[in-house]
Amino acid sequence: MGAICGTKIRKRRQSLGLTQAELAEKTGLSETAIRSYELGNRNPKDGHREVIAKALEVSPDYLREHEDYSESAVMHFLMEMEGVGYIRPILIDGVAYIMPIQANLEDSVQEWAEQEFELSVGNLSEEDYLRWKAEYDPAGAQKRIKSGGANSHFDWKKAKMGEEWFEEELR
């Protein structure tokens, strides 16, 4: 029911050094409700999720349940995102990639890749990486990206789709 959300609440609460009682006090919810959410017995309604997220300093979206991670569900989600103009599948040297098209998403994916790179080379701890993911705010990505956008230096010819395709897509 709410196991994924509950696990995220518990882990984040613990990483902040809060007890269930302290989180309950910060949110105005009962300790019983917090315990029930953490155990996965209940899933918080949107209003409760928002106050919990604020108290835990995370996005309410971070606490949403995403239970169906089947390949089919992921592919349908990606195809939906293509349909609304967020991403596009591309081929580069015969290898498939997913490219963000919408400018804010492009910057967000760029920032995510940079954070993951810093983790992979040891410049960022696993704890800091997980904290970054939990606290992620897409509104700030555009301010943090220095390159002018993830696709600004992209070789469209190598991806087997010309620049004219991209310019037309953005119209």
104 — phi, psi (to 5°)?
Answer: -65, -40
In what helix (H) or strand (E) does residue 86 lie, and over which residues does it extend?
Answer: none
Is the separation of the CB atoms in 150 and 110 below 8 Å? Answer: yes
Please count the CA atoms within 13 angstroms of the CA of 119 that sit on its side-chain side: 15
pLDDT in tens, the chain (171 residues): 457 888 889 999 998 999 999 999 999 999 999 999 999 888 898 899 999 999 998 888 888 766 666 788 788 888 988 888 888 898 888 888 888 887 778 878 888 888 999 999 999 998 889 888 888 877 655 455 444 554 555 565 555 555 555 555 455
pTM score over 0.85: no
Alpha-carbon 38 to chain mean position: 21
Instruction: Give the N- to C-terminal CA distance of the chain in Å, as an integer.
Output: 42
* Rounded-to-integer distance, Cα 43 and Cα 107, Å: 31
